[in-house]
Structure 1
Amino acid sequence: MIALRVYRLLPSPLRRRLVQMLPAHRRIGLVRTLVRPSGGDTRHPIGSRVTVDDGGVRTRAEVVAAATPLEMWHRNLTAVTTALDAAGVRYHCLRNDDHLRSTVAVVADQRDAVRDALDSAPALSGAEVRTVKVQPGRHQPDLAPTEVFQVWFPVTDPRAGLVLGSRFACEIEFWTRDGDVVRAPRHNAVIDETPVEPEPVRVAAALLSHFVPEADDHTYGSRRDLAVRAFDRVGFPIDAVYTWVDGSDPEWRDRKRAALGEAGGPLHAVAANSSRYHNRDELRYSLRSLHSFAPWLRRIFLVTDSQLPSWLDPHHPMVTVVSHAELFADLGGTSSFNSHAIESRLHRIEGLAEHFLYLNDDVFLGRPLLPTHFFHANGIAKFFPSPAQFGLGDARPDDLPVNAAGKNNRRHIQRQFGVTITQKMKHTPFALRRSIMYQIEQVLQADVTETARHRFRHHGDLSIPSALHQYWAYLTAQAVPGDIEYEYADLGHPSTPARLADLLARRHRDVFCLNDTDSDERSMAEQEAMLADFLPRYLPFPAPFELPDDVVAERRKLGATALWRRSYRPIPGTRRAAPIDAPTLPNNMLNTVTDFTAVRRPDG
């Protein structure tokens, strides 16, 4: 990316001067042009092979329509074990210290047989094989460095931007005989030496990597003394929750307009601004990032104001859409336009796991992560304080709503625990516990309920899952600070295209947030074009809960509320809804669904 390198070499004052030559709404476009990927929009056919950069090494990768790191982990390990089985080579699988790679152990006197299998096995046709040197563990001082074979199938997307390659390789290591035992050539998390004659067993893939979900039904050959569960493996279910709105939906705009008319007083300038509700399809790509980089998640809940994204399959079991009517049933089931209010009710989602991640749709996982990035195996949550502060003093009507909520949080933390908080949290997935949110609601019932009643952001709000929960959990010994590689980019800042280009080239962050705080219509158009360049390149592979493009094109002709109405039916006696089985839907059900949506409109 020559333009990006040249842009970076310019002195900062010159870069700023270059950007400031244009009107504000065109500055992003200038930088975006300077840092646009050099490959253009070339698309390679599925099944072809192209040259890619795989961890700094040029290699040939197969172009595929879809793939995930977990699928490649399995593909590489399965191919190796299949080849060794066919060659009659005895082996055992064990946990690699790097959970994104797998390990197969073979006794050293079978090295030549392994080499022959790697060269000739049909199961490994098209695989990359390399030899790498590894060091013994620090408790193995008598062992010399040795070599392991790495085997993997490199794949890429049609634009050759994302490469799933050696990072997910299967490693074949060679154990040496020493009398009645065999000794490992390097450290592993279970045992350094073990009897020569093993008791063979099949083990669940989840015992071989913390990245593999508990529900994964793959098994691999191992030995009894290695088939152990690690103390630091997260075994409890973890869900994800999103809140989402499509501000371009005509029916939603009508609901918002009616609610503003009933607001009963002036609002802060950013409490109901358009950028807060603007939809750029970020949710689609944020969900892709979960599917690809967090396969250990159990379910995803999407909270909406009776809206449905055009690309989302409402029948897919992985994703459950929850309406405001359900969350606010005890308050009349009306629409809310206040994220603080909606967030105050997340723990009421039926079927939600005790441990869950809460994400805004502008937050993305940047690379494969383990559950332990967010929770310890004993259930304790992690949180990520930001150096940003929300200011001293009490909340005032002219405070930014996020700062006012932080000050209100502080007031309660001071009363409950006698300490003073000043820091915000980073814009990452928030690791939450349902029981803590219930506890906060029980102790602070009046303030939590008042927050839920504010249909637009208000200076009296609490920000529970994005800040209060973290401090409350920490001060009750249920959460600890954690570390995460993180990038925050303001979409309206002229430097953002260059930062996104760097992120695309390096893919070096665990999490990134692409936030829009307060942009005008012309700036939002530039930002939309920028994200349309970046997100499909960073996350090119569709998730299984996305509908085909031709179906999406038709559904986009309808508003998000109309799609909801066509896709969900009410559950009698409740404010909950269930997906409609469209092929068997009776005609009279359509009228029922329409009536169900109408009763939740503030003007209805």
Structure 2
Amino acid sequence: MAILKNVEPDVDIVVTWVDDNDIEWRETRDRFKNSENDSEAQSDLRFRDWDLLRYWFRGIANYAPWVRRVYLVTVNPVPKWLNLDNGKVVVVHHEDFIPRVYLPTYNSRVIELNLHRIEGLSENFVYFNDDYFLCKPTKKSHFFKGDLPRAMAVSNSLSVGDNISHAMLNNIQLLNENFSKHHVLRESPLKWFNLKYGIAMLQNLALLPWPRFTGFHNHHLPLALKRSVAEEIWNREFDALDRTSRSRFRQFTDVNPFLISWWSICSGKFAPAHLKKYGRYFQLDQVGVAPVVDSIRKQKYSTICINDGSVPDLDAAKREIQSAFESILSEPCRFER
């Protein structure tokens, strides 16, 4: 009698992308833009395209061959070079999965909180922003251990002041309403006080006296998520997710997709990992282009985030980063015509 080997669950990758060069999209956005009062949420920095999507796909093709399907989520026409005959790529437009009452939207959180509605999406999936890139080979186990998403159960203290911080605090409020910190730590102590976190584990010790969750580590890199967890949150906290989904641009009352990952942590349904060992977050207006280029060319990390910011010469910055990606991903891949 044949012995069946353990089969790892399928994992899909989802990437959200917007092309701000699409004139029709810009005109539609601008009709709504002036009615909102949060200039930061409307900033062109949130929407401009750096012409790096080709390298994003090459990174997936070369460094994540284990992926079952890649879902490109967009409101725009897709690039002409994208090979739609490739059986692994699926283009999904907003109206294909987001309830029409929430459309049109220019709030990335609306898109992210509704990704679980994508038809055919696997239970386990990895969510990428279009500024997250793979720079060297990864394994499926980088993101999932069997059926469990990799995550860091590391406490943090949050403060108010900007839109993103408020969304994180809104996440924490919901978590405290649904989970007892004392119970969560008692049920999974070795997932919280785990040597894999290194020195970061000390944050859990420092914040142990606080009776409620004060925040979680935020690595700002690809998220390993489960559809069923997103569905559970919608069932338990519909009003909060519905309110966010009705925000056409980002609002201080929003929650964001880290809620899904943190919910898995509080449920104890995750595998501990020190995610910072795998990736690096770059904020361009703080670090400049040089460290980004150096990281890509030397392939220092498996994943990086290149978060947009004001740069002195946008065209020159684009050329430098594109050249860096060309040095490691010069060959066309199966996702290209």
**Same fold per superposition (TM over 0.5):** yes
Q: Secondary structure at the match of 1:270?
A: helix
Letter in 2 for 1:391: S
Displacement after TM superposition at 1:228 (Å)? 7.5
Counterpart for residue 250 of structure 1: 23
- The match for 1:443 among 232, 236, 244 is 236
1:391 partnered with 2:181: no
- The aligned runs of 1:92-111 (5 Å cut-off) are none
For the 8 Å contact 1:242–1:302, the answer to whether it is kept is yes
Question: Number of paired residues?
Answer: 304
Q: Cα gap change, 1:406/1:494 in structure 2, threshold over 3 Å: closer, same or farther?
A: closer
Identity of aligned residues (%): 28
Secondary structure at the residue paired with 2:235? helix
The RMSD of aligned alpha carbons is: 2.4
Query: What are the equivalent positions in structure 2 for 1:60-99 lying under 5 Å apart?
Result: none
Aligned match of 2:190: none
1:337 aligns with 2:106: yes
| 1:210-234 CA-partner distances (Å, limit 9, x unpaired) | xxxxxxxxxxxxxx99x983x5xx6
Q: Deviations over 1:518-538 (max 9, x none)?
A: 326x54323212212211112
Cα distance change, pair 389–322 in 1 and its aligned pair in 2 (3 A): farther
TM-score (norm 2): 0.83
Instruction: Pick the structure with more strand per residue.
Output: 1
In 1, distance between residues paired with 2:270 and 2:287?
Answer: 37
Which has the larger Rg? 1
Mapping for residues 61-460 of structure 1, pairs under 5 Å: 229=5, 235-261=8-34, 263=35, 265-267=36-38, 269-331=39-101, 334-377=103-146, 379-384=147-152, 390-391=158-159, 399-418=161-180, 419-460=212-253
- Contact 1:385/1:425, CA 8 A, preserved across alignment: no
- In 2, Cα distance between equivalents of 1:390 and 1:523: 33
- Displacement of 1:304 in angstroms is 0.7
Of Structure 1 and Structure 2, the greater helix share is in 2
Counterpart residue identity of residue 37, structure 2: P
CA 519–346 in structure 1, closer or farther in 2 if over 3 Å, else same:
same
Larger displacement relative to structure 2 (381-390 or 437-446): 381-390
Q: Is the 8 A contact 1:304 1:321 kept in 2?
A: yes
The alignment partner of 1:488 has SS state of: strand
Rounded Cα–Cα distance in structure 2 between residues aligned with 1:304 and 1:387: 34
Q: Taking structure 1 as reference, are residues 318 and 271 closer, same or farther at Cα in structure 2, changes over 3 Å only?
A: same
Unaligned runs of 5+ in 1: 1-223, 393-398, 548-604
SS of 1:425 mapped into structure 2: coil
Q: 1:534 to 1:384 in 2, by over 3 A?
A: farther
Compared CA separation, residues 281 and 388, structure 1 to 2 (3 A): farther
Kept in 1: contact 2:293–2:320 (CA 8 A): no
Query: What SS does the aligned partner of 2:41 have?
Result: coil
Query: What is the alpha-carbon distance in structure 1 between the residues aligned to residue 128 and residue 152 of structure 2?
Result: 14
Give the counterpart letter for 1:476 in structure 2: S
Take 2:279 and 2:154, find their aligned partners in 1: how far apart are those partners?
Answer: 11
Identify which of structures 1 and 2 has the higher relative contact order when contacts are C-alpha pairs closer than 8 Å and 6+ apart.
2
Whole-angstrom distance in 2 between the partners of 1:228 and 1:282: 42
Question: After superposition, what is the alpha-carbon deviation per residue over 1:240-278, rounded to whole angstroms, capped at 9, x for unaligned?
Answer: 1011101121111101111214x3x411x3201111111
Task: Give the conservation status (yes or no) of the 8 Å contact 1:390–1:424.
Answer: no
Q: Structure 2: how far apart are the matches of 1:502 and 1:320?
A: 30
Please state how far the C-alpha of 1:335 moved relative to its aligned partner: 2.3
Query: Structure 2: which amino acid aligns with 1:383?
Result: A
Deviation (angstroms), 1:236: 1.1
State whether residues 314 and 320 of structure 1, in contact with CA within 8 Å, keep that contact through their aligned partners in structure 2: yes
**Alpha-carbon separation, structure 1, partners of 2:215 and 2:33:** 32
- Provide the C-alpha distance between the structure 2 equivalents of 1:286 and 1:448, rounded to a whole number of angstroms: 29
Which sections of structure 2, spanning at least 5 residues, go unmatched? Answer: 181-211
Report the CA distance between 1:282 and its aligned residue: 2.2
